[in-house]
A and B are shown apart, each in its own frame.
Chain A
């Protein structure tokens, strides 16, 4: 065990030194997500909505003139809490319950003020008013988990997959195989090193960008960290699996692209998958990045805790065990199956 720890820490240290001393790739890992975020913040800085949106509790059973108001979209909610979350994030301008004659208003929303005036002018009854507060959720708040998740995906898959194949091709692995180092010691060090690098860089980008954008954050940072860690671990394991045997950088590059592109498009990085066809949602469920991005997004924009994330967490753990088991079993120091 002492030997394991000694060899593991030595390989870990060497790999971290190698990464952090490679200034060009380190710089790119930090600059790329920031550039994307700033770009999106600029492009989507407008309001982006051209009509008013009012939530109505059990709208189908309600008959009221107010619901015929032009240029207003009415959205049906069966639960008040769900509507209130949207109201706090300015995704609704007003929430109305015709059963109890109450309405909720976000005190920092100008649109809400207008909607309140229209509701009160058209309905002569006595209404009970309640206010909530909460900042508007912007596209940049919504897209942040997607961009950070995507960046983590590239770092995990290419940082482990490509590096191991490069080591194999230029015989770094052959040299290590001629020492008492075991595959377990080597692979554990690679995983932990990449986990550290990915979490450190993602945290640095998150904290740095938070000064600029003051991100919307409803959940706990611990939950966010755990879902990030699980997601990164799962993606690293996938990288290990892809790189388990090949000594061709071209083939591995192709396989890594084959893994990353579907995730870029179908894991909800750029746009929500809500409302997309069933089969797209089914495919996306099999992609690790989906669970990382949707989990992180749920923590940040909905305040989800571990219980609410249980399906994402379970799926990530199962995928990690599967990828890691297969990757370790298939791993060869040399490429041709010796």
Chain B
């Protein structure tokens, strides 16, 4: 299917730091597209260039075949990672305010219902819980009935229950045929929601496919995880790759055969875990560091 969003050779440089290094990708209509990567990978810079908030230093962005301009903003909805709203306004008043900015806003009640806000419509937004506030921000992103929806780490800081609830909302929005572009550093979120993902690291795209496609491409069989102390003095690299400070991950096409050869090599099996690979494992394999490593390049926009 033809891409309705096209990004070509997009580049952004801050001083000596190349935040986004000439990346290209396309997003098809109705797709939930995930931009994944650790903090500092260039996700937010990429998405904010696509939203028209940051001027790129190079490259081209197109929506529906035309270059990004203020007019295009009428067709996109945006939920930022951190946003404050004007104080002392209720949920409903905030929605009214944003609805007035667009020539053809969506029906306010429909949006409130979709985002489960009807019960808290008269509450001042400063008094909302984390999950409620994210739902309000989602509703603001939907108030112009956009065809493309940008969600920048929408569930960061939410408790597991609130996250699940938010995922259900996004799934419902997807069913309406809207195209969603999502950044996250939660792999379970990407696996649950995304049809296609791009993994970014240090401003570059290092992998791109469906979540399942990426896993199949990079892993066959399962992963055997063992304490490093069990390795009988041999190097970690001899068996696989490190996982944290105390474990080693070993790719196993045939688990039974791998365990036999480990035993034959004098490796102890105390504390052994066998698991199927997920996107976290994929990321560690591709970049050599963990995906949710918050300390990484934290002074740079991610």
Give min CB distance, B104 to chain A, whole Å: 11
Q: Which residues of B contact A70 (CB under 8 A)?
A: none
Give min CB distance, A218 to chain B, whole Å: 41
Give min CB distance, B226 to chain A, whole Å: 46
Q: Identify the stretch in A8-16, A145-153, A209-217, A230-238 within 8 Å (CB) of chain B at 4 or more residues.
A: A8-16
The answer to whether the Cβ of A29 comes within 8 Å of any Cβ in the partner chain is no
Minimal Cβ-Cβ distance residue in B for A3: B103
The answer to whether the Cβ of B293 comes within 8 Å of any Cβ in the partner chain is no
Give min CB distance, B96 to chain A, whole Å: 7
Q: How many residues of A contact B (CB 8 A)?
A: 26
Give min CB distance, A11 to chain B, whole Å: 7
User: Which residue from A3, A171, A179 sits with its C-beta under 8 Å from B82?
Assistant: A171
Contact A14 B53 (CB under 8 A): no
Given A10-B96, A338-B55, A180 and B73 contact (CB-CB distance below 8 Å): yes
Contact B84 A172 (CB under 8 A): yes
Minimal Cβ-Cβ distance residue in A for B99: A10
Q: How many residues of B contact A (CB 8 A)?
A: 28
Q: Could you write out 10 A-B pairs with CB less than 8 Å apart?
A: A10-B97, A14-B86, A18-B89, A22-B87, A170-B84, A174-B53, A178-B52, A178-B80, A179-B98, A181-B101
A16→B83 CA distance, assembly (Å): 21
Q: Which of A62-77 contact B (CB under 8 A)?
A: none
Give min CB distance, B93 to chain A, whole Å: 7
Q: Which residues of A contact B78 (CB under 8 A)?
A: 175, 178
Given A14-B93, A179-B73, A180-B70, A7 and B84 contact (CB-CB distance below 8 Å): no
The answer to whether the Cβ of A6 comes within 8 Å of any Cβ in the partner chain is yes
Contact A178 B87 (CB under 8 A): no
Is chain A's interface secondary structure helix, strand, loop, or mixed overall?
helix
Q: Which residues of A contact B83 (CB under 8 A)?
A: 171-172, 174-175
**Inter-chain pairs besides A178-B80, A338-B54, 20 sampled, C-beta below 8 Å:** A3-B103, A10-B97, A10-B100, A10-B101, A11-B97, A13-B97, A14-B89, A14-B93, A17-B89, A17-B93, A18-B86, A171-B80, A172-B85, A172-B86, A174-B80, A175-B85, A178-B73, A179-B102, A180-B102, A338-B53
The answer to whether the Cβ of B88 comes within 8 Å of any Cβ in the partner chain is yes
What are the nearest 7 A-B pairs in CB distance? Answer: A10-B100, A170-B84, A21-B88, A179-B101, A178-B78, A18-B88, A14-B97
Is chain B's interface secondary structure helix, strand, loop, or mixed overall?
loop
A85→B227 CA distance, assembly (Å): 98
Give min CB distance, A189 to chain B, whole Å: 11
Give min CB distance, B125 to chain A, whole Å: 11
A21→B124 CA distance, assembly (Å): 11
The answer to whether the Cβ of A136 comes within 8 Å of any Cβ in the partner chain is no
A338→B49 CA distance, assembly (Å): 11
The answer to whether the Cβ of A177 comes within 8 Å of any Cβ in the partner chain is yes
Give residues in B with beta carbon < 8 Å to A: 51-55, 70, 73-74, 78, 80, 82-89, 93, 96-98, 100-103, 140, 144
Q: Which residues of B contact A181 (CB under 8 A)?
A: 101
Give min CB distance, A177 to chain B, whole Å: 6
Given A22-B88, A172-B85, A175-B85, A6 and B100 contact (CB-CB distance below 8 Å): yes
Give 1 or 0 for each of A173-217: 1 = CB within 8 Å of chain B CB: 011011111000000000000000000000000000000000000
Q: Which residues of B contact A334 (CB under 8 A)?
A: 53
Most buried by B among A17, A21, A177, A179: A179
Minimal Cβ-Cβ distance residue in A for B72: A180
Give min CB distance, B27 to chain A, whole Å: 18
Minimal Cβ-Cβ distance residue in B for A175: B83
A269→B8 CA distance, assembly (Å): 61
Give 1 or 0 for each of A1-44: 1 = CB within 8 Å of chain B CB: 00100110111011101100110000000000000000000000
Give min CB distance, A243 to chain B, whole Å: 16
A15→B70 CA distance, assembly (Å): 24
Q: Which residues of A contact B52 (CB under 8 A)?
A: 178
Give min CB distance, A167 to chain B, whole Å: 8
A22→B86 CA distance, assembly (Å): 12
Minimal Cβ-Cβ distance residue in B for A173: B84
Q: Which residues of B contact A338 (CB under 8 A)?
A: 53-55
User: Which residue from B54, B80, B87, B98 sits with its C-beta under 8 Å from A18?
Assistant: B87
